[in-house]
Amino acid sequence: MQKDAFCQHAGLRRFDQRLIWSAVLLVAGLTGCGGNSASGNDASEERYRAARPAAQVQFAEIVSSSQQKARDAKNDMQLGGIKGERDRLICNSVAGIAGDWWANPDPMTALERMGKPIFSATNWVGKVKALDATSDGFGVLVIEVEDGVTVGTWNNAISDVSSETLIRQTSPLFAQVSTLSEGQWVMFSGSFLTGTSGDCFSEMSMSLAGKLRSPEFVFRFSEVSPMVLPVATGVDSASSIAEAAVVLPSPQEQEAQANTSELAIASEELPAESAIPQAQEANTPSFDCAKASTLVEATICANPLLARLDSALAKTYGDIRASDIGEDARNNLRTTQREWMRERNQCTDVRCIETTYRKRIDEVCGTPVLSGLHPACPMSDEIN
């Protein structure tokens, strides 16, 4: 009996050892297989980051600097000084608010400011870190905007009473966010809220160290949409890909892009009706997003407002060209459209793209018609 028990025990030990070694080999194999994908992910991340607007870059630099200083701090008093410096820079440089009212807020004034927007972020870029819902079914969204730095809603109704960041099920935003997945890159807009306990932007960490080393900023989302990564061609390394996202095309490439643009501006004949959609869907640009090959095109595909502007310009351009404007005006319209395309392709952020589109829509719409009715075209400030 004892011998049988011993044999069974020995057999189990041999089984355990085999199991352990199998697990070790499996982990090693998975690690080896993933070696090449890591650099690819890094390259993709750099290309997404290249689309960040200037305000987000500035915010990230301030917060990242405070993270590094916090890691080197020797005591909590030093951490307090680092946090004060960070909040001052955020308020002054990012939000454009002078003074230091946030450092020693008056309790009554703080209550009045609680939950109020302090800064609107437009078309920021980040990666979905968490998608969840409260027990009442309200949406919870957290987006990582920098390593160890997140913006997001509260995760419970009690904390959210004054902030109103939780996403209501009946809102269009809820439908947008519910289709996302963790780890997905997105472009988003919304508001940072006023802090009430020495924070410039409201932050939800419970400890001073947490506020600095892994800050979680409270955010009220207004729009969130997936980002489409442009196809990279002719690049061999992560650094090359990152540069490709912001480097301007050569003159020859710009000419090729102009000649094959979605607006068919190089054609002597008007494009077929199918080439310039008359409205398509509300948030669909005039070109095929599956073939987007530049950062500008990918940004337009990922941003509903830019998509609407692109579609509006395509329709306005086609309608004006089809009108009696005279051959000289028609040739000039084609020439200036090429010049506009080159200007648009030099943009490296959403605001620049939006500005160039609005300007061009108004220019094209203002083209005089020699005879007949002037096509009905929207002014740019009507497109929101």
Return the structure tokens found at 90.
Answer: 């955020």
Return the structure tokens found at 207.
Answer: 């400890």
List of the chain residues with pLDDT < 50: 1-37, 39, 231-281
DSSP conformational letter for 377:
-
- The pLDDT of residue 34: 43
State the Cα–Cα distance between residues 43 and 40, nearest whole angstrom. 5
SS3 294: coil
Cβ(258)–Cβ(341) under 8 Å?
yes
First to last CA, the chain: 84
- The pLDDT of residue 262: 42
- The one-letter amino acid code at 274 reads S
- The pLDDT of residue 105: 59
Cβ(91)–Cβ(119) under 8 Å?
no
Alpha helices by DSSP H, listed for 199-237, are 208-213
Helices and strands (H and E) in the chain: how many = 13, 5
* Angle at which helices 295-302 and 304-322 cross, to 10°: 110
- The pLDDT of residue 109: 59
- The pLDDT of residue 373: 84
pTM of the model: 0.54
- The one-letter amino acid code at 363 reads E
Cβ(154)–Cβ(217) under 8 Å?
no
Cβ(73)–Cβ(225) under 8 Å?
no
**What would you report as the CA-atom Rg of the chain, rounded to the nearest whole angstrom?**
27
- The pLDDT of residue 287: 85
Furthest CA-CA distance within the chain? 109
**Where does residue 351 fall: left (phi above 0), alpha (psi -120 to 50 degrees), or beta otherwise?**
alpha
Cβ(73)–Cβ(82) under 8 Å?
yes
